């Protein structure tokens, strides 16, 4: 670990009692520990290794870690693992391994090369935590989100259709009042539709099934369209589009999905700047990319949260005692959509002053 002061000097002389203490620690820890020589031949396993894998010490010694290889990863994964440790670096990842009885298990795994004074690798030490239960709980949660959002979508579609029919069949004075309520009902249905759409998108991203339909189109009209739509929903904020004298560019992308990103970022800009009255959308392009920035003058985000706000379900709760509605899905979905297009979604922000979210898309 860099920047951490070692409490034990590197060349300390350890007494037998010290070594005994370290040995007991390794023997009794709940995490599996094994050591191999530079060729990968196992020379030590601790009792946790035996317990988790089902291989006894006698069965494991002299073998390679192939005995627990599940084959569940692509060959590239194993190649990367070897490349990393042979270059003297620590490998860390979630690895699916296999027990003696054939059962798969998930591990949070590190493999570290141990070196002599000359920097030659003399051993590899593998340490892992069994995280199978955690992974399975996550999987069940993902399945639940997927099923629940599908189940919610069907009745919602019917409610929307019936609302439209009702609207059309209402006439006269009483009808006017009813129209007003139906309008509100429509707005709420709109919110629910977005929410369920986001939940469905999240489960599609998790399973790798978010589909895209790419086409060629100019980006400025899309930006203007989204701004126009959102301007209708806010009286307080004026949304300004700065094309910065840039010529419009044609991109090859999924127009609806990019519109979804713009809506997400602009909705957030409105939501998180209740005291401001302006939002600026900038467009800049170069020979190789186009960049769209959305700037608000609202609550901003402090440094400690900046990196995490693109994580699934991450929300910031230190916004001056005000609770903003939301579930922390929009930025995650947006950044996945931009990533799919080979681009990047970035944020610059200062707490109390506002934020700029910028996405960059490569031009083909
Ligand atoms: P949601 O807004 O539904 O919580 P998002 O994924 O869109 O979910 O955003 C995640 C979090 O990032 C928000 O909860 C909020 O704390 C922060 N955030 C996003 N956009 C802004 C913004 N324009 N200004 C300040 N905070 C923001």
CB-defined site of ligand 1, < 6 Å: 264, 268-269, 272, 296, 298-301, 309, 314-316, 326-332, 355
Burial of 262 (0-12, 13-18, 19+ CB in 10 A): buried
pLDDT digits (tens, 9 = 90+) for 263-288: 999 999 999 999 999 999 999 998 89
CA 54 / ligand 1 centre spacing (Å): 46
- Other beta carbons within 10 Å of 140: 10
DSSP assignment of 184-230, as one string? Answer: HHHHHHHHHHHHHHHHHHHHHHHHT------EEEEHHHHHHHHHHHH
CA 325 / ligand 1 centre spacing (Å): 10
CA distance 64 to 312: 38
The length of the chain in residues reads 364
Nearest residue CA, atom 23 of ligand 1? 269
Beta strands 344-350; 289-296: pairing state? unpaired
For residue 59, give every residue at least 6 positions away whose Cβ sits within 8 Å of its Cβ, in sequence order, or none: 67, 100
- State which ligand 1 atom lies nearest to the alpha carbon of 354: 24
- State which ligand 1 atom lies nearest to the alpha carbon of 314: 10
CA 268 / ligand 1 centre spacing (Å): 6
Encode the chain (364 residues) as per-residue pLDDT tens digits: 444 444 445 556 788 898 999 999 999 999 999 999 999 999 999 999 999 999 999 999 999 999 999 999 999 999 999 999 999 999 999 999 999 999 999 999 999 999 998 989 999 999 999 999 999 998 898 889 889 888 998 899 999 999 888 888 887 777 788 888 888 888 899 989 999 999 999 999 988 889 899 999 999 999 999 999 999 888 899 999 999 888 899 999 999 999 999 999 999 999 999 999 999 999 999 889 999 999 999 999 999 999 899 999 999 887 566 788 888 999 999 999 999 999 999 999 999 999 999 999 999 7
pLDDT digits (tens, 9 = 90+) for 280-313: 999 999 889 999 999 999 999 999 999 899 999 9
CA 127 / ligand 1 centre spacing (Å): 37
DSSP reduced 3-state for 16: helix
CA distance 263 to 355: 16
The structure's pTM equals 0.76
Angle at 312 between CA 310 and CA 317, to 5 degrees: 75
Nearest residue CA, atom 13 of ligand 1? 315
CA 335 / ligand 1 centre spacing (Å): 13
- State which ligand 1 atom lies nearest to the alpha carbon of 294: 23
Question: DSSP character for 235?
Answer: S
Q: At what angle do helices 219-233 and 255-271 cross, to 10 degrees?
A: 40
Nearest residue CA, atom 4 of ligand 1? 328
- Other beta carbons within 10 Å of 323: 8
- The sign of the dihedral angle between the CA atoms of 9, 15, 21, 26 is positive
CA distance 231 to 247: 24
- State which ligand 1 atom lies nearest to the alpha carbon of 326: 3
- Residue to mutate (ligand 1; options 295, 309, 323; most atoms within 8 A of CB): 309
Edge to edge, the sheet with strand 238-242 lists 238-242, 278-285, 289-296, 354-362, 344-350
Beta strands 344-350; 354-362: pairing state? antiparallel
Nearest residue CA, atom 7 of ligand 1? 330
């Amino acid at each position: 670990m860099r920047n951490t002061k070692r409490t034990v000097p590197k060349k300390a002389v350890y007494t037998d009692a010290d070594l005994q203490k370290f040995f007991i620690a390794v023997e009794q820890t709940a995490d599996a520990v094994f050591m191999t020589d530079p060729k990968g031949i196992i020379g030590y396993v601790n009792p946790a290794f035996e317990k988790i894998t089902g291989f006894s010490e006698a069965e494991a010694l002299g073998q390679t870690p192939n005995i627990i290889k599940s084959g569940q990863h692509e060959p590239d994964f194993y190649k990367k693992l070897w490349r990393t440790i042979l270059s003297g670096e620590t490998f860390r990842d979630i690895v699916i391994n296999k027990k003696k009885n054939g059962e798969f298990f998930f591990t949070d795994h590190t493999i570290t090369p141990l070196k002599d004074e000359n920097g030659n690798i003399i051993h590899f030490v593998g340490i892992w935590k069994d995280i199978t239960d955690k992974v399975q709980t996550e999987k069940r949660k993902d399945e639940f989100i997927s099923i629940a959002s599908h189940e919610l979508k069907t009745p919602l579609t019917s409610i929307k259709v019936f609302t439209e029919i009702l609207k059309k069949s209402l006439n006269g004075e009483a009808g006017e009042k009813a129209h007003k309520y139906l309008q509100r009902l429509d707005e709420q249905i709109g919110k629910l539709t977005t929410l369920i759409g986001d939940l469905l998108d999240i489960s599609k991203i998790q399973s790798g099934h978010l589909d895209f339909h790419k086409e060629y189109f100019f980006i400025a009209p899309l930006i203007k369209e989204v701004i126009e739509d959102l301007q209708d929903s806010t009286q307080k904020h004026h949304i300004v589009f700065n094309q910065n004298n840039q010529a419009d560019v044609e991109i090859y992308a999924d127009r609806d999905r990019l519109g979804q990103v713009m809506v997400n970022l602009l909705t957030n800009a409105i939501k998180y700047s209740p005291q401001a009255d302006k939002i600026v959308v900038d467009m800049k392009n170069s020979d190789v990319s186009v960049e769209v920035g959305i700037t608000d003058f609202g609550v901003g985000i402090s440094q400690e949260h900046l990196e995490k706000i693109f994580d699934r379900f991450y929300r910031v709760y230190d916004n001056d005692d005000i609770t903003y509605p939301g579930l922390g899905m929009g930025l995650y979905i947006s950044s996945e959509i931009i990533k799919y297009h080979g681009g990047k979604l970035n944020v610059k922000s200062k707490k109390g002053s506002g934020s700029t979210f910028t996405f960059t898309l490569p031009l083909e």
